[in-house]
Amino acid sequence: MSQTRVAAPGDTVDAVRRDQRASRRGVAKHGKVTPWLFLLPYLVLFIGFVLLPIVLGLWISLHRWDYTLPGKPFVGLENYQDLFDSGSGIYSIFWNSMKATGIFTVASVPLLLVLPLLVALVMNRKFPGRNLFRAVYFAPYVLGVAVVGVLWRYLLDANIGLVNHYLGALGLPGDTAWLTSTPAVWVALVGVTVWWTMGYNSVIYLAALQDIPKELYEAARVDGASRWQQFVNVTFPGLRPVLAFITMITIIASANMFGQSYLMTQGGPGRETRTAIYQIAETGLRNFSMGDAAAMSYVLTAFLMVLSVLVFWLFRERRS
Amino acid sequence: MMRTTARQRVRTRRTLATGAVTLTAALALAACGGGTTPEEVAGGGGAPEGAGEFTGEYDGPDVELSYWNGFTGGDGPFMQDLVDQFNEEHPNITVVPNTIQWADFYQRVPAAVNAGEGPDVGVMHLDQLATNAARSVIVPLDDVAEALEISEDDFSEEVWNAGIYDDQRYGIPLDVHSLAMFYNTEHFEAAGITEPPTDSESFMAALDALQAAGYQQPFWMPARWPGHLMFLSLLWQNGGEPYAEDGSEATFGSAEGVEALEWMRGIVDAGYSPSDVAQDSQYVAFKNGETSITWDGIWQINDLEASGLPYALAPIPAIFDEQLMWANSHQFFMTKQATQDENKYEAARVFIAWMSEQSADWAGAAMIPARESIREDAVAGMPQEPIANLLDNVRFLPPVPGIGTVQTETLEQAVANAILGQEEPQAALESAEERATELMEENLESFGG
């Protein structure tokens, strides 16, 4: 693939010929290895931390696998059957956690797609203090989930938290149990997550906005397009490739939500906010039922794969 | 070369209990590869014969012991002092402590020991001993107990028996720590309460007096930790048992349990507690003087001392028939990893014996030393003294493998749901009990063989 080299301006014809001759002798042979050498570091990580775990996980999901016990009996598809058999103990636990993940994803993804776009549109304009505001919106994203979780756990506490205190001071209802009652707990979890991760999506939107050629807007203005028409006909199509990417990563990030409910609600009030990942971690790492946990992971993965295909289909290039 | 000597040792050491013998060669291999330095291998040849004789001394070559515990709070510095002191007195043993939050501890220890990278010795809660014994992470310590001449006589029966699983001893008790009633002395004074309440009648009278004195919500009822510990205490007080001793079923949904949980929810309904008390907020409220009474573990003592709050503590009042309270105990354990190297094994025994004897100093960490010969002097004048005299009234969870997870998956959520008012106590306990029994049956099956 690297055998022929594009002539750079200033190269003499002779030099290019010499190059080609040299490549025919030396680089050709050596060239077959070169790409692999470049890929090697990534491949090692990919095989070690992605490919092998995928295969091993599949293998584990076919066993009753407790790595601290000597026997790991093969059970075939029993772990999967249990997940789909409403009579088994794990059925409702697993599907409730999937439901929690579903609620969270449905509630948070639209907000995480729209709000950052609005922020990016504002940040793309010229106004004094723009850089400061850009930093302010991005700042929460640099915090770890532990910091965010513990911080908001205290802020949102129904009885000793600042949020309720100030709501009360403003004459609003100050006794909402943000962390211990549904549906308030979902408002809290989604709100905190939007506050926390909005900056990341905004930055990507902002970069995409700056990539849209100014000439297109000029042309649109010349044609007499209004602000809204400019957005619909210039900005939005320009954002489409990025939009597909942001939608995908936001869905995956929301479907993988764990830390916020682990730290802020402990899955509570009872186990309503135990997400799928939370349940998988509890089952596999605390209860040592690695087989069940692996089977759950694969079911979750299947869901996410279907969802990804759907998103790609939605955002596909439409030929008219 | 090292591989064979290690295996031979394992084979020849008859005194070692069965757990160690089941080690696979692969594990021995892993441990030799990871845990032993060349110096130790070279020095290993001169190990004393007859490891069974335990003298309390270790005169072998220099050895390093990996020691894991979860003392991340006010108890941490006291443990570090003890370890430093031990290292100073034993030049040929180096104890390397590693402190991990308890929440992660029980997840990491089995994994690390299985990989041969775990601790040689450590401290864990007694309700985790059975689980780890069943997973053969830890090994029996009967011979250590015997050689240490520590026996039932020096411990209250409850504490001593709690370290036994399947007729073998897996833990050497370090301390006992229980739930206690903390109260704000200023609030009590203002309300004219002179003696801490000891039974249901005086407790309710105290709550009313506190309300009359202007402390509207004197007893916050936590939905999460330590809510389930309060429930267990009340259940025992009421004559119930949470789990069958043989691990075959959960019984916390009995009439006694329902009554106990109804009492807890009643505190909220009667307005003594706000509703929706989320995790930790009852403790923060107590520390800030917003509430007057809280039931929490005695391990909070050092934190409260540091906060400067005017407080005192008393045993939990007898709300029901008998004054009983939930307790747990820190117990020393030895892992199968330590048994693969004779020197480590010897040194580990010396370490556990020494620590057990020093447990008087441990009272400074707001715990109650487990040894009776030490206890009285050690806790004299300490805040936890009132509890130390009631050790016969503490109750532990039965030694059933996997009980910890069963509890977080079922009981804790039932208690939370009932206190938050999301479910009636009876319905919450019944469905949780059913699920708990299911889990326990599964556990019996996995651990049974």
Task: Name which of A69, A165, A175, A180 to mutate to probe chain B: the one with the most chain B Cβ atoms within 10 A of its Cβ.
Answer: A180
pLDDT tens for residues B124-163? Answer: 999 999 999 988 899 999 887 877 766 667 787 778 888 8
pLDDT of residue A41: 94
| Closest approach of B306 to chain A, Cα-based (Å) | 21
Please check whether residue A268 touches B, CB under 8 A. yes
pLDDT tens for residues A217-256? Answer: 999 999 999 999 999 999 998 998 899 899 999 999 999 9
Please check whether residue B413 touches A, CB under 8 A. yes
Q: Residue A17: is its pLDDT beyond 70?
A: no
Tell me how far apart the alpha carbons of residues B330 and B246 are, in angstroms, rounded to a whole number.
Answer: 22
Per the domain annotation, does A47 fall within a domain? no
Per the domain annotation, does A191 fall within a domain? yes
Per the domain annotation, does A60 fall within a domain? no
Quick one: CA torsion of B186, A158, B229, B215, rounded to 10 degrees? 20
Following DSSP, what letter does each residue of A97-157 receive, concatenated?
HHHHHHHHHHHHHHHHHHHHHHHHHHHTS--TTHHHHHHHHHGGGGS-HHHHHHHHHHHT-
Task: Identify which of B336, B1, B24, B29 has the alpha carbon closest to the alpha carbon of residue B170.
Answer: B336
* Element of type H or E holding A262: helix A259-264
Let me know: does B368 contact B384? Beta carbons within 8 Å: yes
**Cβ neighbours for A102, distance < 8 A, ≥ 6 positions apart:** none
Which value does ipTM take for this structure? Answer: 0.78
pLDDT of residue B26: 33
Task: Identify which of B304, B347, B352, B303 has the alpha carbon closest to the alpha carbon of residue B69.
Answer: B352
pLDDT of residue B381: 86
Question: What CATH number corresponds to the domain at position A292?
Answer: 1.10.3720.10
- Chain A residue numbers with beta carbons less than 8 Å from the beta carbon of B422 are 181, 269-270
What are the strands, taking DSSP E only, across B228-274? none
Instruction: Categorise residue B99: left if φ over 0, alpha if ψ from -120 to 50, beta otherwise.
Output: beta
Structural domain boundaries enclosing A116: 83-314
Task: Identify which of B182, B178, B104, B227 has the alpha carbon closest to the alpha carbon of residue B329.
Answer: B178
For the whole model, what pTM was predicted?
A: 0.83
Q: What long-range pairs does B23-32 form, CB within 8 A, spacing at least 24?
A: B23/B336, B23/B339, B23/B340, B27/B114, B27/B116, B27/B336, B27/B340, B28/B3, B28/B340, B29/B3, B30/B115, B30/B116, B31/B6, B31/B116, B31/B337, B31/B340, B31/B341, B32/B2, B32/B3, B32/B6, B32/B340
Below-70 pLDDT ranges, chain B: 1-56, 149-152, 449
**Of B135, B274, B439, which has the smallest distance from its Cβ to A68's Cβ?**
B135
Cα three-residue angle A36-A40-A42, rounded to 5 degrees: 125
CB within 8 Å: A158 and B279: no
Tell me how far apart the alpha carbons of residues A308 and A247 are, in angstroms, rounded to a whole number.
Answer: 9
| Closest approach of B367 to chain A, Cα-based (Å) | 27
Distance between alpha carbon B330 and the CA centroid of its chain, in Å?
4
CB within 8 Å: A266 and B279: yes
Query: Which residues lie across from B125 on neighbouring strands?
Result: B330
- Chain B residue numbers with beta carbons less than 8 Å from the beta carbon of A270 are 413, 416-417, 420, 422-423
Per the domain annotation, does A163 fall within a domain? yes
Distance between alpha carbon A164 and the CA centroid of its chain, in Å?
31
% of residues, chain A, pLDDT over 70: 90
pLDDT of residue B32: 34
Tell me how far apart the alpha carbons of residues A240 and B208 are, in angstroms, rounded to a whole number.
Answer: 66
B252 φ/ψ angles, rounded to the nearest 5 degrees = -75, -10
CB within 8 Å: A89 and B417: no
pLDDT of residue B152: 67
Cα three-residue angle B243-B428-B222, rounded to 5 degrees: 90
Per the domain annotation, does A76 fall within a domain? no
Task: Name which of A93, A159, A175, A279 to mutate to probe chain B: the one with the most chain B Cβ atoms within 10 A of its Cβ.
Answer: A159
- Chain A residue numbers with beta carbons less than 8 Å from the beta carbon of B133 are none
Return the residue of B nearest to A91 by Cα: B435
A42 φ/ψ angles, rounded to the nearest 5 degrees = -70, -40
Per the domain annotation, does A61 fall within a domain? no
Average pLDDT, chain A: 88
Tell me the H-state helices in B135-226. 142-147, 157-162, 185-190, 200-212
pLDDT tens for residues A259-317? Answer: 999 999 988 788 899 999 999 999 998 888 899 999 999 999 999 999 999 988 888 87
Cα three-residue angle A92-A98-A99, rounded to 5 degrees: 85
Per the domain annotation, does A265 fall within a domain? yes
Domains of chain B plus CATH, in order, are 2-173+332-369 (3.40.190.10), 177-328+394-448 (3.40.190.10)
pLDDT tens for residues A39-58? Answer: 999 999 999 999 999 999 99
Number of domain units in chain A = 1
Per the domain annotation, does A179 fall within a domain? yes
Let me know: does B413 contact B253? Beta carbons within 8 Å: no
- Chain B residue numbers with beta carbons less than 8 Å from the beta carbon of A285 are 107
CB within 8 Å: B278 and A158: yes
